[in-house]
Amino acid sequence: MTEPVIELANEFAEIRVRKVHTRNGARLLVESPRSGRRVSLCPLELEALTWQDDDVFSAMIANPYGPLEVDGGG
């Protein structure tokens, strides 16, 4: 059975999200139709998103395909 797809979009981005089953357990597959990129995240990687503050996400958006550099880290 195929899992349902969740689609979210605004004027800046469009993504599709769905649960996938792998040999190592369930993952969340996040796809960007516009860029053709996708990532499969395990539960620990998803939880790690909740540990971040707004500065991390702002840095990711500022340089989407480059290294992550967050000010104030030392």
Mean pLDDT for each 10-residue chunk of the chain (74 residues)?
A: 91 96 96 95 97 91 78 58
Tell me the β-bridge partners of 19: 28
pLDDT given for residue 15 in this prediction: 97
Asked if residue 70 lies in contact with residue 60, where contact means CB atoms within 8 angstroms, the answer is no
Nearest residue to 21 (alpha-carbon basis) of 6, 3, 7: 3
pLDDT (0 to 100) of residue 68: 73
The pLDDT score that the predictor gives to residue 72 is: 61
Residue 4 burial (10 A CB sphere; 0-12, 13-18, 19+): exposed
Whole-model pTM: value is 0.80
